[in-house]
Amino acid sequence: MFLIPDSVGKFFHRMASPPHFYALTEKLMPWLVTLFLLLLLSGLYGGLYLAPPDYQQGDSYRIIYIHVPSAWMSLFIYVVMAVAGAIGLIWHIKLAEIVAISSASVGASFTFIALVTGSLWGKPMWGTWWVWDARLTSELILLFLYLGVIGLYGAIDDKRSASKAIAILALVGVVNIPIIHYSVEWWNTLHQGPTVTKIDKPSIHISMLIPLLLMAMAFKVFYLIAMLQKARVELLQRERTSQWVKKMVLEQMR
């Protein structure tokens, strides 16, 4: 690969080596956790305490600080999962397969949180826990896609074939992502339209926007932490017969 600088190529080559990945993620973890807590605490302080109540929705709108970042993460993680799955499918990189399956449970969790917090927000504001509106329905389908990926992976014993199967399922499900994103514009129902992603003129006050973005960043870092934790277990289980895992187990016994 003459287009990629040698040092960069070396970095990725080493990252894709399982023992190096395992050791590096262990070293990285305290930094990620610190960053996550800083973002989380400042986001919560800004969102729950500093930001004023909404002029229409009162304090109930404060659910936005977990609802919207979770919903963003549910889409973002799905794309990461599909891309990692595709990389695993094409180049047979084991670590990409592991990132794909390790993302699925975190993505499912964020989708679940987006649905439940949306429901808890909808009840006082819309007067109902649930409507079969386009946004809610497509997000529910996303949850089923995640659960399908997790179930399919668990059902196939050979984890390399299982990874191929879930990569294909994830790639097919990508169709749902733009549907979720544009659902509030294509079908005008109960769910409100976008307030933040209108780059030219977001219809949200700066004192509410900053904590929202802080929470979004906190959730991104959280995804990294949770996905890496899951990836380390997956890696150990897949590499159980390899020398580096055996050596580590031996060191643990002492």
Partner 1 sequence: MTLQTFFAMGGYAFYVWTAYGICFVVLLANILIPIKQRKQFLRQQALKQKRQN
Q: How far is the CB of 80 from partner 1 (least distance, A)?
A: 15
Backbone angles phi, psi at 77, to 5 degrees: -65, -35
For partner 1, the closer CB: 10 or 240: 240
Q: How far is the CB of 173 from partner 1 (least distance, A)?
A: 21
**Segment contacting partner 1 (CB under 8 A): 75-83, 112-120, 148-156, 199-207?**
112-120
Q: What's the CA dihedral at 173, 177, 182, 187 to 10 degrees?
A: 40
Angle, alpha carbons 72-150-100 (nearest 5°): 60
Of residues 45-74, which lie at the interface with partner 1 (CB under 8 A)? 48-49, 53, 58-60, 62-63, 66-67, 70
DSSP state of 56: T
Query: 3-state SS of the chain: helix, strand, coil percent to 5?
Result: 80, 0, 20
Spatial separation of the C-alpha atoms in residues 154 and 108, rounded to whole Å? 15
Sign of CA dihedral 64, 65, 70, 76: positive
Q: How far is the CB of 230 from partner 1 (least distance, A)?
A: 5
**Segment contacting partner 1 (CB under 8 A): 7-15, 110-118, 144-152, 184-192?**
110-118
Sign of CA dihedral 37, 47, 111, 202: negative
Of residues 21-40, which lie at the interface with partner 1 (CB under 8 A)? none
- Interface with partner 1 includes 229 (CB under 8 A)? yes
Q: Where in 182-239 does DSSP place strands (E)? A: none
For partner 1, the closer CB: 174 or 224: 224
For partner 1, the closer CB: 17 or 57: 57
**Among 120, 164, 197, 244, which residue sits at the site for partner 1 (rule: CB under 8 A)?**
120
Tokens linked to 142 = 């996303």
Q: How far is the CB of 87 from partner 1 (least distance, A)?
A: 22
Backbone angles phi, psi at 118, to 5 degrees: -65, -40
Interface residue list for partner 1 (CB under 8 A): 48-49, 53, 58-60, 62-63, 66-67, 70, 105-106, 109, 112-113, 116-117, 120-121, 123-124, 222, 225-226, 229-230, 232-233, 236-237, 240, 245-246, 248-250, 252-253
